[in-house]
Structure 1
Amino acid sequence: MRPPSPAVAVYRSIEAISPAAWDRCFPGDPEGWAFYRAVEDAGPPGFDWRYIALLEDGQPVAVAPVFLTRYRLDTTVQGPLKRITEAIGRALPRLMTLNLAALGSPVAEQCHLGFAPQVPDARKPTLLEQLLDAFEALAEAERCGLMAIKDASELDMPLWRQVAGRRGYQPMPGLPTGVLKIPSGGLEGYLATLSRATRKDLKRKLRARDGLRVEHRHAIDDVVAEVGALYEETVANSELQFEHLPPDYFAAVLRRLAPAASIVLYWAEDRLVAFNLMIETPTRLVDKYIGMHYPTVRRYNLYYLSWLENVAYCAERGIGTYQSGQAFYGPKVRLGCRLSPNWLMFRHRRPALNAVLRLVARVVRLDRFDPEVARQMEEHA
Structure 2
Amino acid sequence: MRRERGAAPRPGEPPPARSPYRVEIADTVDAVPPEVWRELAPADDPLWSQGVFAAMERGRLGPEGYRYLLLRRGDEVVAVLPLCLFPGLRLDYVVGPRERRLLRPLRAVCPGLLRVPMLFCGHLLGQGHIAAARPLPPEAVRLLVSAAGDVADWSGLGTVVFKDFGDAELALLRPELARAGYFVTRSLPDTELRLGYDSFEAYVRALPAKPRRNARSKLRKFAAWPGARVEIVEDFAPLLPDVLALYEQVMDRADQTLDRLDASFLTALAGSAEPRRALVAVFEDDRLVAFLLCLFRGTGATGARIGLDYRIAHEARLYHAVHYAAIRLAIESGCTHIRFAQTAYTPKVELGCGLVPQSYALTHRRPLPRALLRALLPRALDTALAEALGAHADLLPASVAAPPSAPEKRTSHAPS
TM-score normalised to structure 1 length = 0.92
Q: Partners of 1:213 and 1:157 in 2: how far apart?
A: 43
Q: Partners of 1:170 and 1:259 in 2: how far apart?
A: 34
Q: Partners of 1:243 and 1:314 in 2: how far apart?
A: 25
Deviation at 1:280, TM superposition (A): 0.9
What SS is found at the alignment partner of 2:254?
A: coil
Q: Are the equivalent residues in 2 in contact too, given 1:21–1:59 (CA < 8 A)?
A: no
Counterpart in 1 of 2:176? 163
Q: Partners of 1:169 and 1:83 in 2: how far apart?
A: 29
The code of the aligned residue for 1:202 comes to: A
- Comparing 189-198 and 237-246, the one that deviates more: 189-198
Deviation at 1:220, TM superposition (A): 2.1
Q: 1:377 to 1:308 in 2, by over 3 A?
A: closer
Deviation at 1:88, TM superposition (A): 2.5
* Aligned with 2:77 (options 60, 67, 73): 60
* Aligned with 1:340 (options 331, 356, 360): 356
The code of the aligned residue for 2:96 comes to: Q
Q: Are the equivalent residues in 1 in contact too, given 2:355–2:395 (CA < 8 A)?
A: yes
Deviation at 1:377, TM superposition (A): 5.0
* Aligned with 1:89 (options 85, 107, 122): 107
Q: Partners of 1:97 and 1:369 in 2: how far apart?
A: 24
- Comparing 75-84 and 267-276, the one that deviates more: 75-84
What SS is found at the alignment partner of 1:251?
A: helix
Q: Are the equivalent residues in 1 in contact too, given 2:193–2:339 (CA < 8 A)?
A: yes
- Comparing 277-286 and 185-194, the one that deviates more: 185-194
TM-score normalised to structure 2 length = 0.84
The code of the aligned residue for 1:145 comes to: G
Q: Partners of 1:259 and 1:96 in 2: how far apart?
A: 36
* Aligned with 1:199 (options 200, 212, 217): 212
Counterpart in 1 of 2:365? 349
Matches within 5 A, 1:206-285: 206-207=219-220, 208-210=222-224, 211-258=227-274, 260-285=276-301
Q: Are the equivalent residues in 2 in contact too, given 1:125–1:163 (CA < 8 A)?
A: yes
Counterpart in 1 of 2:89? 71
1:316 aligns with 2:332: yes
The code of the aligned residue for 1:49 comes to: Y
Q: Partners of 1:364 and 1:286 in 2: how far apart?
A: 25
The code of the aligned residue for 2:49 comes to: G
Matches within 5 A, 1:122-141: 123-141=136-154
- How high is the sequence identity, in percent, across the aligned residues? 26
Aligned residues: 376
The code of the aligned residue for 1:189 comes to: A
Q: Partners of 1:376 and 1:71 in 2: how far apart?
A: 31
- Comparing 23-32 and 270-279, the one that deviates more: 23-32
Q: Partners of 2:367 and 2:17 in 1: how far apart?
A: 34
What SS is found at the alignment partner of 1:294?
A: coil
Counterpart in 1 of 2:200? 187
Q: Are the equivalent residues in 1 in contact too, given 2:296–2:302 (CA < 8 A)?
A: yes
What SS is found at the alignment partner of 1:155?
A: helix
- Comparing 316-325 and 253-262, the one that deviates more: 253-262
Deviation at 1:268, TM superposition (A): 0.2
* Aligned with 1:369 (options 387, 393, 406): 387
Q: Are the equivalent residues in 1 in contact too, given 2:49–2:297 (CA < 8 A)?
A: no
Q: Partners of 1:84 and 1:27 in 2: how far apart?
A: 40
Structure 2 spans left out of the alignment, 5+ residues? 1-15, 402-416
Deviation at 1:335, TM superposition (A): 1.9
Deviation at 1:124, TM superposition (A): 2.6
The code of the aligned residue for 2:316 comes to: Y
The code of the aligned residue for 2:104 comes to: E
Cα displacement string for residues 222-267 of structure 1 (whole angstroms, at most 9, x for unaligned residues): 2211111011111001112212221232232122145611112110
The code of the aligned residue for 2:128 comes to: C
Counterpart in 1 of 2:30? 15
Q: CA RMSD in A?
A: 2.1
Cα displacement string for residues 256-311 of structure 1 (whole angstroms, at most 9, x for unaligned residues): 14561111211001211011111113411111011111111112101111111122
Deviation at 1:27, TM superposition (A): 4.6
Q: Partners of 1:75 and 1:160 in 2: how far apart?
A: 28
Counterpart in 1 of 2:311? 295
What SS is found at the alignment partner of 2:119?
A: strand
Q: Partners of 2:237 and 2:334 in 1: how far apart?
A: 30
Counterpart in 1 of 2:122? 104
Deviation at 1:324, TM superposition (A): 1.3
Q: Are the equivalent residues in 2 in contact too, given 1:11–1:50 (CA < 8 A)?
A: yes
Deviation at 1:328, TM superposition (A): 0.9
The code of the aligned residue for 2:169 comes to: D
Q: Partners of 2:349 and 2:338 in 1: how far apart?
A: 13
Q: Partners of 2:313 and 2:54 in 1: how far apart?
A: 33
Q: 1:148 to 1:45 in 2, by over 3 A?
A: closer
Deviation at 1:346, TM superposition (A): 0.9
Q: 1:244 to 1:164 in 2, by over 3 A?
A: same
* Aligned with 2:343 (options 324, 327, 337): 327
Q: Partners of 1:160 and 1:318 in 2: how far apart?
A: 32
